[in-house]
Chain A
Amino acid sequence: MKYQDEYRNKELCQYLIQKIRALTKTDIRLMEVCGTHTVSIFRSGLKAMLPQNVHLISGPGCPVCVTPTSAIDHVIALSRMNNTMIATFGDMINVPGSSSSLKNEKAQGADVRVIYSPFQALELAQDFPEKRVILLGIGFETTIPLIASVVLESKKKSIKNFYLYSLGKLMPPVIRELIQDRDTEIDGFLCPGHVSVIIGTEPYQFIPQEYSIPCVIAGFEPVDILYAIYCVIQQKIEHRPRVENKYERVVRKEGNPIALHKMDEVFSAIDVEWRGIGRVNKSGLDLKAEYSELNAKNFQVKIEKTKENPDCRCGEVLKGKISPLECPLFKSVCTPENPIGACMVSSEGTCATYYKYQ
């Protein structure tokens, strides 16, 4: 496909790997924040091809993985209400809550539908006027504007049985949190390319300016990723930390202003819980007061007391402190068929990616 094949050129990859090798022999720890990067790095075999001193650490960029158990339990409770349909992206249905999962609830009669686009939730609401249709609005800045436009559309069309359970989360605040957490040492960031399509390049400026850490906005094809790795290491060597945009074919400085505007119209930032990371200031989004009549969080339901599995080390995996290989349950007990933690459920979860490709 155009704009894909040329960025998968094997010889170019080999050449870039040589260039990276020639840059430095010292250990360097780079975090790819985005789960889509993690998958791409494994699938293309880059992880094994890179010189041993270049360590790639996976970050908290898988929205399903960072959704805390308490939120899963809340959604499960909502799915048990009468005349209710839950519309969700596929990965969410397998995530274990404290004692159940959406998949489990579905088997017991709950109406849970898998969608690939948030717009389908609105179509479902129109097709099933007798049901409350609750969209699980999960995602980062890439997906949030889509959810915002569905909310706006539901208002415009006066669809009364459409509701949203917002699980939207923001990348820059969690990056700050990771930097401030001294346990995770990071020499440079590969910034999420498609989040950047929406937010642009400016929200990352604090990373070099306040913390002197290099960052490069990277695309998702092997050549994009290697080129970004090369640039981020070069910034480090030259002691010139800055935000470099190496995904210029789609990322503009100002992002997508229409998307940002819609996001702003519908949502406001709140403090939210991230699995393994804890509460992070202004890192989540909830519906503004004007839209509270469609906020599914307002339904009165009984939510069970949260029970985390004490053996699951997802939290440390999400912060980049350990690799899944260091979790004693990995592969022995925890597998994609029988996931113990969220990181093994999502196809972009770090544990699931290691399982598949390692």
Chain B
Amino acid sequence: MCLAIPGKIIKKIDTEQVEVLLGGIKKKVRIDLLPQVSVGDYVLVHAGYAITKIKEKEAEEVIRAWEEIQS
């Protein structure tokens, strides 16, 4: 039940909602718990609410580190 999926914010609707691209589908998402977001941010969405921003740098560093170990 704690499922949450990453998506990209494509539009700000008002102070309460944004539009997020989630697996190719546009969804309205509430930002009560994450008011400081901008278009272009990647966020994690749980049951219709954005719960955190995804830190792109961390995500990419980890991937790169793994690629290095492997090679």
Interface pair B70/A11, CB less than 8 Å apart? yes
Q: How far is the CA of A118 from the CA of B30 in the complex (A)?
A: 11
Q: Does B40 contact A (CB under 8 A)?
A: no
- Min Cβ gap A260→B in Å is 10
**CB-CB < 8 A to A194: which residues of B?**
2-4, 44, 46, 51
Q: Does B13 contact A (CB under 8 A)?
A: no
**CB-CB < 8 A to A192: which residues of B?**
2
Q: How far is the CA of A223 from the CA of B33 in the complex (A)?
A: 28
Among A3, A193, A251, point to the contact of B59 (Cβ < 8 A): A3
- Given A12-B70, A62-B1: A258 in contact with B59 (beta carbons within 8 A): no
Q: How far is the CA of A251 from the CA of B53 in the complex (A)?
A: 9
- Min Cβ gap B53→A in Å is 8
- Min Cβ gap A188→B in Å is 20
- Min Cβ gap B41→A in Å is 12
Residues of A within 8 A of B (CB): 1-4, 6, 11-12, 15, 34-36, 61-64, 89, 91, 116-120, 138-140, 142-143, 145-146, 149, 153, 192-195, 197-198, 223, 248-252, 256, 258-259, 262, 346, 348
Q: How far is the CA of A153 from the CA of B33 in the complex (A)?
A: 12
Give the nearest-CB partner of A9 in chain B. B66
Interface pair A249/B54, CB less than 8 Å apart? yes
Interface pair A259/B23, CB less than 8 Å apart? no
Q: Does B39 contact A (CB under 8 A)?
A: no
Interface pair A117/B48, CB less than 8 Å apart? yes
Give the nearest-CB partner of A261 in chain B. B33
Interface pair A36/B42, CB less than 8 Å apart? no
- Given A1-B23, A262-B33: A195 in contact with B2 (beta carbons within 8 A): yes
Query: Sorted from nearest, which 7 A-B pairs have the closest CB atoms?
Result: A117-B48, A249-B59, A149-B32, A142-B2, A3-B6, A194-B2, A249-B58
Interface pair A4/B62, CB less than 8 Å apart? no
- Min Cβ gap A151→B in Å is 11
- Min Cβ gap A279→B in Å is 22
Interface pair A143/B55, CB less than 8 Å apart? no
- Min Cβ gap A177→B in Å is 19
**CB-CB < 8 A to B63: which residues of A?**
6
**CB-CB < 8 A to B58: which residues of A?**
248-249
Interface pair A35/B70, CB less than 8 Å apart? no
Give the nearest-CB partner of B23 in chain A. A1
Q: How far is the CA of A11 from the CA of B69 in the complex (A)?
A: 12
Most buried by A among B1, B5, B44, B69: B1
Give the nearest-CB partner of A147 in chain B. B47
